[in-house]
A and B are shown apart, each in its own frame.
Chain A
Amino acid sequence: MDKSISIQSTEDYGINSAESLRLLRESLIAGEQTTGKVVSVCCGSGCMSSGSEHVRAAFVRGIKDQELEDEITVKKTGCHGFCERGPIVIVGPEKIFYQHVTKEDVPEIISETLIENRVVERLLYEDPVTGQKCFHENDIPFYQKQRRIVLKNCGIIDPTSIEDYIKVDGFQALAKILSQMTPEGVIEEIKLSGLRGRGGAGFPAGIKWETARNAPGEEKYIICNGDEGDPGAFMDRSVMEGDPYSVMEGMMIAGYAVGASQGIIYVRAEYPLAVHHLSTAIAQATDLGLLGHDIMGSGFNFEIKIVKGAGAFVCGEETALIASIEGRSGRPKPKPPFPAIQGLWGKPTVINNVETLANVSRIALNGGKWYSEIGTPTDKGTKIFSLVGKVQNVGLVEVEMGTTLREIIFDIGGGIPGGKRFKAVQTGGPSGGCIPEELLDLPVGYESLAKAGSIIGSGGMLVMDEDTCIVNIARYFLDFAQNESCGQCTPCRLGTKQMFKILRDITRGDGKPGDIEILLELSDAVKQASICGLGMTVPNPVISTIRYFRKEYEEHILERRCRALVCRSLIFYRIKPYRCKACMKCLEACPVGAIIGAKWQVHEIDQSKCIKCGTCMKVCPKRFNAVECVTGRIEGLGDKSE
């Protein structure tokens, strides 16, 4: 590498060598406030929607009013993963964790914590099991079993300040590889680390890079896939919003390894904050000379552009994503050719997921061996899951591979709320399968979940309790699939449609004997005969629920019974005559006037009018408990199929 070719960007701040990066970092750290009084207000999308912007403004105002600006810094950070408890505020130097902070709480935090060094107890998180108040993030069970590698800067740095990123250890990995490693050496490290793609398919990243490196062609591309179309998933969003620099650094390292000088980040347009933070990061890095020509004097050139996607689920599929960037309609193309050989504009292209790329700088800095020791012998590193559904602690969790589902759902997630019983967990988003209670001790990993009929996918984790109807869940996912199919191949376009219709029939009590077999045959055809990963995987929710909960399907079809009391066509509300005290509460509350009765006259529900809203059951006084909800073929209650 010719260091004598100097660059233009050596303004007072520019970085033109690994050494100048080190100097800048040192001066930034030295310039930090000595009081350590920092108020970090989470300004991720979750907390913003619960009003963190106002909280931040209140801090700024309050601190200004008291003329404390020189002592106390207010900074905004990205997501902590615990959005459900937002807005979240961390108050330094002790890093006290406050949850559900409103702007009304701000004066108290300033006077109590920041000035008097006292904790505002009522804003602390309380462990629902032990009742203990938690002072710090690490005291909260939600965080204790997590291992944050990808998310290590999220919630710590200000995602719009490149200086903040440099202060932690930003661009150290880049400096290291540019000054000490060959591109082949970088690929070896990534291979050694065992990093696999986090976007769904789990393809080994090192091999993908190597293929693209060896593919003939001068021009190559690195694409970061930030489409994140799975309903309920927000891990990639949080990373892009909370730590855009790590994604960028990962892309640059990939570019160096592959021999690409252009990077493209494909973000869905519904993620405006991510777009904003990423473009800010790119502009700052360009100003500093960290992007552009001859980066750090190494001769390596790299630039990054952002492309906003219109947000179809299938546009996350790599070939559809490329088509979308090229301005064509987002429909997948058959592989081969693989993008690593013939991708964007026909040039070798590495497409990696946001989370995959965010891992890269950690690996480059600490070595592939370090990473390969995290996780299990077969699955390396960590994975972020978005834990949602019937679980106490909804949020983003990053755990080591090999952590069991039970640990994630019960130790981190705090178990099922309301004393209900766990029923199943759906992993991997709409392409994943449902895993039953018997398999809760399954360690998460690519193969282990595949064996159980599911996938890690992009990391969706939907917890279901006993009040969830499994057939209804399958119907829900197939509804998603049939709408999101690009429609070009017959089995996926029409198969998902028919599967959805059969599932809908079953939930409406119109299932027919033999439907389960037909569902399985259709699933098999869609899986085997479809072109892209969408068709190949969307039957998974159906197949896995039939595999583990076939009985429930049969109950729906043969007995007209929905044990979770969810499928409206299969349930009935009725009043137990011997318990009804004719209080008229339900009669008054029923929105459709379906209840017949009067004072001194036992009430009765007119099934032909009842819309099964459940209001009567809710209003019937506990001590009478006269309304019940029943399911199955019950004499005297409407049975459509007679």
Chain B
Amino acid sequence: MIRVSSVSLNINGITVRADEGATILTAAQDAGIYIPTLCYCPDVSSIGVCRLCLVRIKGQRRLEPACRTPVEEGIVVVTDDPEIERLRRVILELILSDHDFNCLLCPKSGQCRLQELVNRIGLNEHRFNRLEHVAKDLPIDTSNPFFDFNPNKCVQCTICVRTCHEIVGNDAIDMAYRSYDLRVSTFANKLLKDSACVSCGECMERCPVGALVPKKTEYPTREVKTTCSYCGVGCGLYLGVRGNTIVKARGDDESPVNKGNLCVRGRFGYNFVNSPDRLSLPLMRAYDEYAQPSSVVKVTEEGRPVTLPLVKREGKFVEINWDQAIKYVASSLAHYKGDEIAAISSARCTNEENYLFQKFTRAVLKTNNIDHCARL
């Protein structure tokens, strides 16, 4: 194990120990001292652009952003004094003067960092009212099937850009233009759907305000920890459930596999679970001699169909049960030997299932013709 040496510093009169390489912000947070932040996101590098976390370091000419200033042995830091407070207020008023705030109708309300900052820092109303409300009236990009981008609520914190660059490695978005027109943009200002965006939603997940929001917001009443069923990577996730319906998915930060990140399927692809189109029984084609319509039993459990196989009879599928289905498959397979047959398995199966399938193919079917759809 690498031992990180620690340093001792003074924050607001309190002596605090922090790991070397830590920032003043994390040192303060660990010591329970609040420093307001907007453009800080622990998952990505800090660039210090919102300037809300400015703190005073004794002996330094200028205020420094806590989120990107490393701790040093013996430094004396003040996170809050009347002057810093005044600056923060001015900065916050400026952000709001450029913000389309409409909290009651905003999906982010209640979890919005900007709201939190206003509560924590407060405003000078006289000054704020004198500022011109210059909120932009830019078109909202609703082209992505899963989330919307409302540039009028964007606070230019660049967390989304850093996320797409550093975490996703996709670089679908960047900051474009300059001065007051600075904004998040795809390459050549295309709609998200026509851009390099892969809809992973990582940016949306980190946007501190209501600028990048899911199309559908329903709040779960409980969360279930599980593993994503889409592919063999096996990302850990929490499914947010409301009643008996999945309404949200989020990555499990603790999972060593995905460390909280998800792709488009894991994050947005849970609709199939509750889909009415979902197959609930095995299906079988009607012309098949093995079909035994007479033996089909419809089993229900508390009014729900228990998963049963189906057969298709005269152009229709008919339900059959699992025993029948397996028997049918087994007898069909018995017609072939060795390399006459090939097997393809699915990326949606777990590693264990895929293992079993290849074992079955090799040991029982006696062929090495086994492949996997993810190779295509």
Contacts and interface: CB of A to CB of B under 8 A. Distances in A.
B130 A494 contact: no
Q: Is chain A's interface secondary structure helix, strand, loop, or mixed overall?
A: helix
Interface in B119-139: 126-127, 130-132, 134
A334 B90 contact: no
Contact of B180 (A482, A518, A521, A531): A482
A494 B175 CA distance: 16
A314 B182 CA distance: 14
A491 B48 CA distance: 12
B210 interface: no
Interface of A: 312, 314, 329, 331, 334, 482-491, 493-498, 501-502, 512, 514-515, 518, 521-522, 524-525, 528-531
A137 B47 CA distance: 53
B63 A334 contact: no
B72 interface: no
A488 B181 CA distance: 10
B94 A518 contact: no
B36 to A, nearest CB: 12
Contacts of B134: 497-498, 501
Contacts of B19: none
B327 to A, nearest CB: 65
Contacts of B131: 498, 501
B50 interface: yes
A514 B180 contact: no
9 contacts: A312-B178, A484-B179, A487-B179, A487-B181, A488-B49, A490-B156, A491-B87, A498-B97, A524-B90
Contacts, number: 107
Contact of A489 (B49, B63, B87, B130): B49
Contacts of B50: 489-490
A334 B179 CA distance: 17
Given A487-B178, A493-B180, A521 B127 contact: yes
B90 A487 contact: no
A514 B130 contact: yes
B178 A531 contact: no
Contacts of A497: 98, 134, 179-180
A538 to B, nearest CB: 11
B179 A491 contact: no
Contacts of A491: 51, 87, 90-91, 94
A528 B130 contact: no
Given A482-B179, A524-B87, 7 more contacts: A486-B179, A490-B52, A521-B127, A525-B90, A528-B87, A529-B51, A529-B63
Contacts of A531: 48-49, 51
Most A CB contacts (10 A, CB to CB) among B50, B54, B90, B95 go to: B90
B182 A529 contact: no
B181 A494 contact: no
B62 interface: yes
Contacts of A329: 174-175
Contacts of A501: 131-132, 134
A494 B65 contact: no
A524 B174 CA distance: 30
B86 interface: yes
B127 A487 contact: no
A525 B91 CA distance: 7
A486 B54 contact: no
Nearest to B132: A501
Most B CB contacts (10 A, CB to CB) among A314, A482, A484, A501 go to: A501
A314 B178 CA distance: 10
Contacts of B126: 514
A523 to B, nearest CB: 10
Contacts of A525: 86-87, 90-91, 94
Given A498-B97, A521-B127, A529 B87 contact: yes
B336 interface: no
A641 to B, nearest CB: 15
Given A334-B68, A488-B175, A528-B87, A493 B132 contact: no
Contacts of B98: 494, 497
A531 B51 CA distance: 8
Most B CB contacts (10 A, CB to CB) among A490, A491, A493 go to: A490
